[in-house]
Structure 1
Amino acid sequence: MKVKICGIKTVEAAKAVVESGADFIGFVFADSKRMVTKEEAKEIADTLPSSIQKVGVFVNEEPEVVQEIATYVGLDYVQLHGDETPAYCEQIKVPMIKAFQVRSKEDLQTLERYNCDYYLLDSPAGKYRGGNGETFDWSLAKGLANLEGKIMLAGGLHAENVAEAIREVYPVGVDISSGVETDGSKDPDKIYAFVKAAKNSGR
């Protein structure tokens, strides 16, 4: 089970993510209370071991800007969390995670139009795209066998419900941000607990 901890803003938080055994670390380059500049992200990224994959989150950004930031920071993946079209995605020359808001079965029919490395199923947007701490109806994600090994799950996850979510959706990975925070800051204890619960889920 792959685990991504998103919304990292400090070297201290990044250190906790690495020590927890997570697989991906996420930097938000879009309008969010967790937004960082490319310079801040590079400063953190430069402290990371090669064993952890660096992901940059973008929302409806110009392709040229995505590419430039990916190169500058040294991102391993870009995560597109907006209304990006399949044609837009074809312009991105970095491994890609595409996020989809899931309200109904119909929302899942759009996935096969996209060619990406991972499909991230998330709850519908609130004030910002992602990071709202709300779950969606996991039963909607059943029956995606054609995308097995490429589905990641996000939205309202925490250490107490992640094992159930994994059993329900059977994703290859899970993605969390607000669920490992206390008073708006990343909490090392919650990070460790979440990664342990996800990794021990039996998946």
Structure 2
Amino acid sequence: MGNIHRVKGNYSEAIASLSAARETFYELDRELDVSYCDRDLAVVFYEQKNYDDAAALFTSAREVFLRLDEPSAAAFCQEMLGSIYCIRGDYQAAETQLESALQTYTSLGSMGDIADCSCSLGDVYRSQQRFDAALESLQVAYDIGQKQGNTLRIANALRVRSYVHWDQAQFAQARHLLLDAQRLYESIEYTRGLELCAEDLAELDRDEQA
């Protein structure tokens, strides 16, 4: 129920619902369920840009998932920690977390997770100006998205790829990729993606005219 509230953006309801569930599981001594609640709460905090609380919960939940042999859930926590480090500009720490998560996903053969993690890694490599490594990672994400017919993953890979070209002042290529991503987000009515593309295109206009 907490996740339904989160998806709808009702964060206070999501926190209340997840906290109540966590309390119940804690009283029943169901440690794994408590950790899943912590993970979901951390996602809510992350979406609210409350990165300190999100990072603390992802870290503690990950330790429990590792101890109780839940590698996929542990890798998800690492992936999210990688995103938080990236947002904070600590690209080395982000790379360490994301590469470790990717390794786990690869060993589990979890293709969708490999795609998402590769897309995030591509953005980290780009931020480090390692453009070839970035394009390689983004190609992995794009290819998996194509194979799965997953429009969101394809669009995300194209949007981040546009940043790689943008950073190298290849504005026409960047614009082309952003417009492609925008069309794909539109086709699945993904509002957040459309907002990002609109912001990026406006900023790209300013950069080109500078």
Task: Give TM-score scaled by structure 2 length.
Answer: 0.28
The one of the two structures with greater contact order (alpha-carbon pairs below 8 A, sep at least 6) is 1
Structure with the higher helix share, 1 or 2: 2
Of structures 1 and 2, the larger Rg is shown by 2
Structure with the higher strand share, 1 or 2: 1
